[in-house]
Structure 1
Amino acid sequence: MRSTLLALAAALLVSAPLATSTLHAGETETYVPVEATDVVAGLRERALESDLGYRIVESLTTEVGPRLAGSEADARAVEWATAKFKELGYDKVWTEPVTFPKWVRRSESASVLGANAQPLTVTALGGSPAGTVEGEVIRFSDLDALEAAPAGSLAGKIAFIDYRMERSRDGSGYGPGSRVRSRGPSAAIRAGAIGYVMRSAGTDSHRNPHTGITRFDEGLVPVPAAALSVPDADQLARLLARGPARIRLALDCGWDGEYTSQNVIGQINGSERPDEVVLIGGHLDSWDLGTGAVDDGAGVGITMAAGALIGQMQVRPPRSIRVVAFANEEQGLYGGKAYAEAHLGEIRQHLIGAESDFGAGRIYGYSSSAPAYATPADTAIAEALAPLGIEHLPGQGGPGPDISPFAAKGLAWARLAQDGSDYFDLHHTPDDTFDKIDPAALAQNVAAYAVFAYLAASVESADDFGFGSAPTAEAGDGN
C-alpha cells in the first residue's frame, strides 16, 4: 500500500505544471488523434468483458501467496511475474536489481498481566527490533500528546497511542494514522519508554492487527514496537479506564543483512516510436499477514492485464506501454527509487506514469500533472474514461507511491483514483485475501488503465512533445 505521500503529493501539485496553467510561447498543443479515440471505445468494452485482471491476481495470490520483501516468496514472485509477462505476450520482458535491508518476522505476542490477565492480538511493526518487555502502559490519545511527553517521563513504561483512524473514500485518513506508526516509536523512546504499542492504522473492527513499516530516528536505541488490533486497542483502553495496567510484549523479529530483489518489467512495443513509453504498474511485494491481494496484487493484475489487452489489438499505439511490477514498495519505495535512478537519463522518453496501489475498488476520478500544452490530450483521456463512471478532477491528487520518486525528478503523472472506502479494513492485515476482490470492479480498473495508456501513448503535437518536458535543474536534483 502506498506510504505516507500526502506531503510529497502536495509539493508536487504546487511545483508541477498543471493542465490549467497557461500555454507558453513556443509550446504547441498536444492532442489525441480522432482515430485513437475511435479505437479505444472497442478496447474499453473488451476490457470490461474480460476477466484477465482477476485471473492474474488469482494466480499471484494462490501460487505465490504473501510476498514479504527479502523472503523466499519474494524470489518466487519475481519468477512468477517474469513468466506471466511472457505468457501474456509482452514483446520484451526483463528485470532490474533492487537492493535493500532485509527485515524478518518470526513470532509475536502480547498479554495483559495481573488480575485482568488476558492475551492481546498484536503484530510487530516492520523495522521493529526483537525483544521482550514488561511494564505499565501509559495511554496517549494521539501522536501530538506523546510527542509532548517530557523526556524520561515514561522510564520503564510502555507507550500506547490510541488514535482512531477515520474512514474516507480517498484515503486521506491514512496520513495521520500512518504517522502514528512511523513517528510514534521514536517519540516513545525520547520519553524513556521501553516499548511501544498503537491502535492499528485501520478502519475495521476485526481482530486483525495492521502491520506496516516504522522508523527510528538516528541516535535512538530502537525498542519493540507493535500494533494492536482495533478490538484489542479498545479492550486495553477500557482496562486503563479502570486503573493502571501492565502488559508483556514479546517480539522475535529484526533486520537481517541485505537482499537483492528485482523490478520486473514487461513492454508492449509501440508501432512507430517504441523507445518512447507510457509507464504503468503496481508493486509486487506485500506484507506477510495476508496474501497481498488488495495490496497490491490488484495493482499488478490491473496493469498487467491492461498492457496485455493493448498488445492484442490490431492497431497498436505509436509508443510503447511499459508495465513495472515494483520491488519492495512496502518498506521504503525501494523499487520506485531504483527505477527512477536507472532511467533518469531517459526521462524525456517517458511521457507519463500512473500506478495502481489503492486496492481493487472502482475508479471514480481522473487527474494528472499534464502541462498546459497537453490540455487537449488530457481532456480527451478524461472524456474517454467518462463512460466508465470516472469524473475529471483536474488539480486533485498526486502520483502513486512508486511513481513519486520519478515524478519528483520531472516525470508527468496521472492519477486514476480508486474508491478506498473499505481499503483500510483490509490493508496490511491477515484479511487481505483474494476473496475480497470484486471481479466487476477490477474489470472497470483494467478498462480505465487500458484506455488511459492507449490514448497517452497515441498523443501528437507539432513538435511531438508529449505530456512531460525535460526536468529543470531543480527538478533533476529532487527539489
Structure 2
Amino acid sequence: MSIKEVSFLILCLLLCQKATSSCECCSEEISSKATIVNRIINVLTKGNEAGVTYNELEKFVDKFGPRMTGTETLENSIDYMLDLLRRNGLNARTEEVEAPFWIRGEEYAEMTKPWPKKFGVLGIGLSVGTNGANISAPVLVVTSFEELEERRDEVQGKIVVYNFKFKSYGVSVKYRSQGASRASKYGALAVLVKSVTPFSLYTPHTGMLNYDQTVPKIPAACITVEDAELIHRLSKRDNVSVRLFMGAKTLDKPAISRNIIVDIKGWKYPEEVVIVSGHIDSWDVGQGAMDDGGGAFVSWRALAVIHNLGLKPKRTLRAILWTGEEQGLWGAQSYIKVSLTPRHKNEIDNISIAMESDIGTFRPLGLTFSGTNPKSQCIVKHTLELMKAINATELVLGVEGSDIVLFNEYKVPLASLNNDHRTYFYYHHTNADTMLVENSTNLDTCTALWAASSFVFADLNHKLWR
C-alpha cells in the first residue's frame, strides 16, 4: 500500500469519526425534542386537532372541486385558503406565477370499425386539438417505442395506439409524455395512449406531454386500459378504425396564478428556512383530493398545529402551496427564480431542507430523503426514531417529489412523505380522485409526522448539511 493510499484511508477514518461524532451529538439534541414531538402527535391523534385536517380538506374540495391552472375556480380557492390561513392565526401571502393556459374543450373518441363503440377518453394536458374536425383513421397498435421503430413504415396516416405493459409509473409514463412526438415523426395523425395505471375500472387517466419542437404537434389522448387492450386484440384479426375529436388548445396569453406562502418566523435563525409543501392546483377531473389536496392540507395544517401549541422553532418554518404543478412545476420554477434575485440574496443557500407531499396521504411510513451528507441522513434517521407512536420510522434514501426536485440543482436536502401509496396510481389524474380516497386517521398521522419532523429540523442548532 502506497503512502498516498495510507493517507487517504486515514483521512477517510477521520471524516468518518467526525461524522459519527456529529451524529451522536445530533442524536442527543434530537432526543431532547421527544416531549414536543409527543405533544404534536397526541394533539393530532387524541386531542382537539384530531379530524380537523380531513374536515377542512373535505370542505375545500367539495366547495371547489377540480382546480385547473388558469381557471377562476383555482384563484377563488386560493383566496379561500388565504382567508382560512389568516383566520387560523397564520402569516400568509402569495407570489404571482405565470403558467401555460391550456383548455381541454369538448372531446370524444369512438371505434367505427369493426363495430361501433364509444371510448372513455381524456385528452393529455398541453395537447393540441383536432382543429375543429374529426380525425378518422385506421389504427396501428404498438406495445413499445421499439415496436414503433420496427413498424415505422406502417405509421403514415394512422392513429397510433400505445398498449404497453405497465411496469411502474416512472417507466411507463414515457408513452404519455413522449408518445405523440415519437409517432408524429413517422406521419401519425394522432395517438391514443393506454392510461398509465396498474389497475382500472374503466377509468381514463390524464396527465401532461412534452412535444418535440422538431416534428409536427399531433393530438394525444389517454384511453382506458380496457379499451386499449380491446383495440389490440381486435387489431390482430381485423382492421380497426377510430374517430377522434379534441377541442383542446393552449392560449397565447399565459395563465396568472399564485403560490401561497405561510411562515412561522424562527426566533434565532429567521433567515434559515425549513419548507413543507404540496400543490393546490389539480387537473380538471375528480376533486383533486388525493393529488394534491391532501399534501397541501397536511402542509398548512402542520404549521397551524405548531402555532396552536405555542411552539417557536429556531429557524423559520414555511409551508408552500404550489400552483401550476400539473402543467410543469411552474409554481416551483417561479419560487426558485425569485429566490435567486439580488433582493432575495442567499435564500436558496439558507434552505435547511425542502419537504413535499405529492404521492398521497395514505398511512404514513416515514420519510424519503435525498441528501447525501451522512450527518444529514443521520439527523433524519434519529428524527424518525421519535415517530414510533405513529409507526412512521422508516427512512428511504431517494425522493418522491415533483416541485422540490427542482431544488436538486442547488444541493438542497429534500424529503417527501413516505406513505403506503400502493393504490395511488389507481386514482391518479382521474375522475375517481375524490374524498373517498382520503381517510381521517391517515390524514391526522400524516399531519403529525409532517409537523413533528419539520419542527425538529427547524429547531436544531445547525441546519442540515449539504
Normalization by structure 1: what TM-score?
0.86
Per-residue deviation, 1:158: 0.6
Query: How far apart in 2 are the matches of 1:40 and 1:412?
Result: 22
1:311 counterpart = 2:310? no
Per-residue deviation, 1:178: 1.0
Task: Give the partner amino acid of 1:154.
Answer: V
- Counterpart residue number, 1:64: 64
Number of residues paired by the alignment?
A: 435
Per-residue deviation, 1:99: 0.7
- Counterpart residue number, 1:421: 422
1:432 counterpart = 2:453? no
Q: Deviations over 1:273-331 (max 9, x none)?
A: 33322100101110011110010001011111111101112332222210000011111
Task: Give the partner amino acid of 1:310.
Answer: I
Kindly indicate whether the alpha-carbon contact (under 8 Å) linking 2:78 and 2:260 is maintained by their aligned counterparts in 1. yes
- Counterpart residue number, 1:327: 323
Instruction: Give matches, 1:152-231, under 5 Å.
Output: 152-166=153-167, 173-231=168-226
- Counterpart residue number, 2:82: 82
- CA distance 1:392–1:204, change in 2 (3 Å): closer
Query: How far apart in 2 are the matches of 1:303 and 1:147?
Result: 45
Task: Give the partner amino acid of 2:53.
Answer: G
Per-residue deviation, 1:148: 4.3
- Counterpart residue number, 2:105: 106
- CA distance 1:375–1:436, change in 2 (3 Å): closer
Task: Give the partner amino acid of 1:410.
Answer: K
Unaligned runs of 5+ in 2: 1-14, 341-345
Q: Considering Cα pairs closer than 8 Å and 6+ residues apart, tell me whether 1 or 2 has the greater RCO.
A: 1
Residue range with higher mean Cα deviation, 331-340 or 114-123: 114-123
Query: How far apart in 2 are the matches of 1:275 and 1:422?
Result: 39
Query: How far apart in 1 are the matches of 2:31 and 2:360?
Result: 33
Residue range with higher mean Cα deviation, 41-50 or 289-298: 41-50
Task: Give the partner amino acid of 2:37.
Answer: V
Q: Deviations over 1:6-45 (max 9, x none)?
A: xxxxxxxxxxxxxxx94779x9667235442221111112
1:255 counterpart = 2:257? no
Kindly indicate whether the alpha-carbon contact (under 8 Å) linking 2:85 and 2:92 is maintained by their aligned counterparts in 1. yes
Per-residue deviation, 1:118: 1.5
Task: Give the partner amino acid of 1:223.
Answer: I
Structure with max Cα Rg: 2
Task: Give the partner amino acid of 1:386.
Answer: K
Query: How far apart in 2 are the matches of 1:322 and 1:423?
Result: 26
Identity of matched residues, %: 28
- Counterpart residue number, 1:298: 294
- Counterpart residue number, 2:380: 378
- Counterpart residue number, 1:282: 278
Per-residue deviation, 1:435: 1.8
- CA distance 1:298–1:459, change in 2 (3 Å): same
Query: How far apart in 1 are the matches of 2:330 and 2:32?
Result: 39
Unaligned runs of 5+ in 1: 1-20, 167-172, 470-479
Task: Give the partner amino acid of 2:36.
Answer: V
Query: How far apart in 1 are the matches of 2:89 and 2:17?
Result: 40
